[in-house]
Amino acid sequence: MSRLVVVSNRTADPRKTAAGGLAVAVRESLQQTGGLWFGWSGKIRSETDAAAGQPDVRVQTTGSVTLATLDLDQRDYDTYYLGYANDVLWPVFHYRLDLANFDVRFAAGYRRVNQLFARKLMPLLRPDDLIWVHDYHLIPLAAELRAMGCTNRIGFFLHIPMPPPLIMAAIPEHEWLMRSLFAYDLVGFQAEADVTHFAHYVESEAQAHRLEPGRLRAFQRTLRVGAYPIGIDVDEFAGLAQGKEGREMFARMREEYSRRRLLIGVDRLDYSKGLPQRVHAFRELLAQYPENHNSATLIQIASPSREDVGAYDDLRRQMDSLCGEINGDYGELDWMPVRYIHRNVARKRLPGLYRASRVALVTPLRDGMNLVAKEFIAAQDPADPGMLVLSRFAGAAEQLTDALLVNPYDAQGTAQAIQRALTMPLDERINRHTRLTQRIREHDVHWWCASFLEALEHSGQEHDS
């Protein structure tokens, strides 16, 4: 069996419990097969080291996984990471052209770091390695590797949404980016909608032909594409709910809020997650349905994220003021409608928090998938489950059709759905939860890894250019 080589912007210690979606999934794929994980160390090189020349790759092996990391210098970090990845690709792929900052220096830095990754990875590769590249930071990596003579099978998975062609076309380098994807053998997206957007882009901008389903031909190359919705490890997460920290958290929340009905939101503090819109909808709930006064309590946990990108600062201020206003307007001496916590919660405690909540609000404006939705379902007590209110604009909505689907821009409609979730009879909650559990079990993280890698193993690029 081929060795697996995973490449992502950041790596993490595979022995530790990872917090982010990508880290969990990568750890899962590497532990199954063993292999190499290559990426940025997260460290910035000092100017003296940078002046001394090319960064060195640090290699360390723990169990069956070898980690290979390199540092970036300040200029690369500013242009590749803060600039192109987080100030161009992230906003545009989440349909936020208003927040994008197109600057040719960012594009140059992005290209430079992808070339650096390729140059440093090449000597570590064996001829039959399967290479799996993750996410928007590394779109041109396969093209750079191919230019250096790499003939391995290379797959790419995009964790964030693929926007429609006319939004993509706002990126000055859009053609180069999309052409670069054709250097892969397999490109995987989260949802069918993303596959459709990509196919429309290459059909309209590059005169691509659709061959049989799942194969596109353009730029003298044939590419296999498909939707591989990412999942969670359902048993592991349900197990955490029964673990010591999970049970303690559950008991504490149930006691503390015994007279209240808890609603939960857990996100990175990111403008794609629709947090201000969610607080507006919750305010509408209190306005439209006064029976929730002195009862419904929204706990919104928003972990700090990308604090050195300007748009995130504005969002933080906006959330502080919206939550302050709602508490000022509706709060009582013994009841605060919103508890807003700008922090991470330890992963082992999350399931207890989810299980103690009647309703989860997962209402992003755009999201590749959203794993919180799936974690909430896995953590519930099947005999008395909480209800999921889910944005139709999350990739997860294609699968989780038994959740209450909402348009997060519509505060009143969302408030109605929240009220419906809060008052839903037990038998309906159980029926919906049973079907939702089935969906997250069918397409869990093991399925995701295995199906992507199997498709990659069987995809052969027709190198005829």
Q: Give the nearest distance from C-beta 274 to ligand ADQ in angstroms.
A: 12
Task: Say which of 137, 159, 197, 433 is annotated catalytic.
Answer: 159
**Identity of the residue, 118 or 403, whose beta carbon is nearer to ligand ADQ in the bound complex:** 403
Closer Cβ to ligand ADQ, 286 or 403, answer by number: 403
The correct pick among 145, 372, 389, 449 for binding ligand ADQ (CB under 6 A) is 372
Q: Which residue is nearest to ligand ADQ (CB)?
A: 21
Instruction: Answer for the pair 429, 381: CB distance below 8 angstroms, yes or no.
Output: no
Instruction: Identify which of 147, 399, 90, 414 has the alpha carbon closest to the alpha carbon of residue 272.
Output: 90
Q: Pick out residues in 285-304 that bind ligand ADQ (CB under 6 A).
A: 301, 303
**Residue 420 CA to its chain's centroid (Å):** 28
371 binds ligand ADQ (CB under 6 A): yes
Q: How far apart are CA 185 and CA 146, in angstroms?
A: 11
Mark residues 40-59: x for contact with ligand ADQ by CB under 6 A, - for none. Answer: --------------------
Kindly determine how many residues on this chain lie close enough to bind ligand ADQ according to the rule CB under 6 A: 22
- Window 15-34: residues binding ligand ADQ (CB under 6 A): 19-22
AA letter at 121: L
**Listed ranges 97-105, 172-180, 257-265, 266-274: which one lies at the site for ligand ADQ (CB under 6 A):** 266-274
Number of neighbours of residue 199 by Cβ within 10 angstroms: 17
> Cβ of residue 385: shortest distance to ligand ADQ, in angstroms?
18
345 binds ligand ADQ (CB under 6 A): yes
Query: Given candidates 350, 356, 455, 456, which one binds ligand ADQ under the rule CB under 6 A?
Result: 350
Name the residue with tokens 């100017």.
Answer: 47
Q: How far is the CB of 303 from ligand ADQ (least distance, A)?
A: 3
Pull the structure tokens for residue 279.
Answer: 């607080």
Q: How far is the CB of 121 from ligand ADQ (least distance, A)?
A: 22
Backbone angles phi, psi at 310, to 5 degrees: -55, -45
Residue 196 contacts by C-beta under 8 Å, 6 or more apart in sequence?
none
327 CB burial (10 A radius; 0-12, 13-18, 19+): middle
Question: 19 or 287, CB closer to ligand ADQ?
Answer: 19
Euclidean distance between CA atoms 191 and 161, whole angstroms: 8
Distance of CA 169 to the CA centre of its chain: 23
Indicate if 174 belongs to the active site: no
| Residue 237: CB minimum distance to ligand ADQ, A | 9
Minimum distance from CB of 46 to ligand ADQ (Å)? 30
Task: Catalytic residue, from 129, 367, 402, 444: name it.
Answer: 367
Q: Binding mask 267-286 vs ligand ADQ (x if CB under 6 A, - otherwise)?
A: xx------------------
Phi-psi region of 42 (alpha: psi -120 to 50; beta: other; left: phi over 0): left
Instruction: Return the residues of window 196-235 that contact ligand ADQ according to CB under 6 A.
Output: 230
DSSP 230-287: ----HHHHHHHHHSHHHHHHHHHHHHHTTTSEEEEEEEES-GGG-HHHHHHHHHHHHH
Q: Do the Cβ atoms of 99 and 311 come closer than 8 Å?
A: yes
Distance CA 10, CA 70 (A): 10
159 catalytic residue (yes or no):
yes
Binding residues vs ligand ADQ (CB under 6 A): 19-22, 159-160, 230, 266-268, 301, 303, 344-345, 350, 367-372, 375
Q: Which residues are catalytic?
A: 159, 367
